[in-house]
Amino acid sequence: MLFNSIQFILFFPFITLIYYWCFHKYRWAVLLAGSYYFYMCWKPEYLVLILLSTTVDYFAALAMEKAQEIKKKKRFLFLSLFTNLGLLGLFKYWNFVSENLNQIIDENTFSTLDILLPVGISFYTFQTLSYTIDVYRGDIKAERHFGKFALFVSFFPQLVAGPIERAKRFIPQLYKKINYDQVMIGLGLKLMTWGFFKKLVIADNCGLLVNQVYNNPETHKGIFVVLAALLFPFQIYADFSGYSDIAIGAAMVLGITLMQNFNRPFIAQSIGEHWKRWHISLSTWFMDYLYIPLGGSKTTKWRWYYNLFITFLISGLWHGANWTFILWGAYHGALVVLERMIGYGKNRSGGILGLAKNVVVFLLIVFGFIIFRSNNLSDVPIILNNLVTDLNLDAITEFFEKSTILRNKRILVVFFAIVLMMTLEYLYDKKNVIGFLNRQHFVIRFLFYIISILAILMFGNFTSIDFIYFQF
């Protein structure tokens, strides 16, 4: 079930009404049943994977807490790691590994599987792994209530694309009595509206040009490729942060608080700062469960650089079974290591220098996203070559005079929408765009939401396009 579908528009009010109608002690069951139905709308049989992961981690955590010897605790932690990473490896990486091994040995020794990638498996796998690791470390107690733990694993607003929540933040909220809060619900609905605006008006309309260029790189040159390269960062940001806004807003309507997942990543003045602002729930997951266990920065200088690089490399692999993602992760890892080596990025700058840093970092991000968005490694040099081919004044002038793309109202609207999005995100401080708007005069708030809704209805792309991060 997609957020941007009629099915969800009917499902969400229905589940919300039942949720607030029920007694507090039964609400977890309403949300769990709704979450399982939400997931089964994609492929019902894949619910078995969530149930298996949930059951193994529930009993493994209880066993770890009960065990007195560290060896026994490690056995149950290994069971959790083997089950979750095994399922992730089988469904997400088996075919990738098999195909590459067959190419290396030039034989079809390793078979591939005709299976679909279960939507959201990377997200709920990392979410439940964080729980068992935290129990193993003694940071949290094992959850006794199986149903509430199952809801933690499968909570529908953030099930398929995050934010990747932590048990110590999420599960205690299920024990609190949540009253009908009109203010909280209003804020949640506004945040969902903003998320739909970003997804339907910006991301999906950006995709009209971006997909055309990246899916046919040989036939596009010059300004077309430049525009696609510049638009894709805004497409993926509006798409993914739009999903996060809808997820966080939907949870707010239900009285549950999810963590912030984005914090104005395009105002970063270093790559390291960018990653503190982009996909925060994943970045902090890798820091807590990979980077720090490897030794973090509390080791020799070269080991520190290795820890940084390997963390980004594996983060790239997490995004998908494709060499483009691995290269993209290595690219960002190398940039962060370079920044640490020369001591760059410790302090933010203001004025012209700060703006120059913003531009340089954005262009580095754009280059990385060319690798990320390319369908395969062989497309990367083609796109980079075509990026600078026919890029002269005559070609650019002809493009702006004759291009049918610029006459397309949707493309023109998307440029204005991007400017609006970036302006608002530049203006707000530590909260979010909705928090910023709520401090404005009532008339300004009212006009903004009316215009947003009208823009969605008039210019939104309602073809039920998947969110980009569903494929991860």
Q: Rounded to an integer, what distance in angstroms lies between the CA atom of residue 213 and that of residue 226?
A: 10
Q: Which 8-state DSSP code applies to residue 291?
A: I
Question: Is the CB of residue 442 less than 8 Å from the CB of residue 186?
Answer: no
| CA nearest to 291, candidates 314, 260, 318 | 314
Q: Which two tokens stand for residue 423?
A: 């302006």
Q: Which two tokens stand for residue 449?
A: 């939401």
Torsion of the alpha carbons at 301, 303, 308 and 311, rounded to the nearest 10: -170
Burial of 1 (0-12, 13-18, 19+ CB in 10 A): middle
Compute CA 126 distance to the chain's CA centroid, rounded to the nearest angstrom: 13
3-state secondary structure of 14: helix
| CA nearest to 161, candidates 126, 185, 130, 196 | 126
Annotation marks residue 319 as catalytic: yes
Residue with tokens 């019902």: 44
> Which residue type is seen at 321?
A
| CA nearest to 184, candidates 175, 173, 196 | 173
| CA nearest to 425, candidates 183, 260, 304 | 260
Strands (DSSP E) contained in 73-180 are none
Q: Please report how many Cα atoms fall inside a 13 Å half-sphere around the Cα of residue 362, on the Cβ side.
A: 17
> Which residue type is seen at 83?
T
What sign has the CA pseudo-torsion 63, 65, 70, 73? positive
Residue 276 neighbours by CB distance under 10 Å: 14
Question: Is the CB of residue 118 less than 8 Å from the CB of residue 43?
Answer: yes
Active-site residue among 220, 274, 279, 319?
319
* Residues that are catalytic: 319
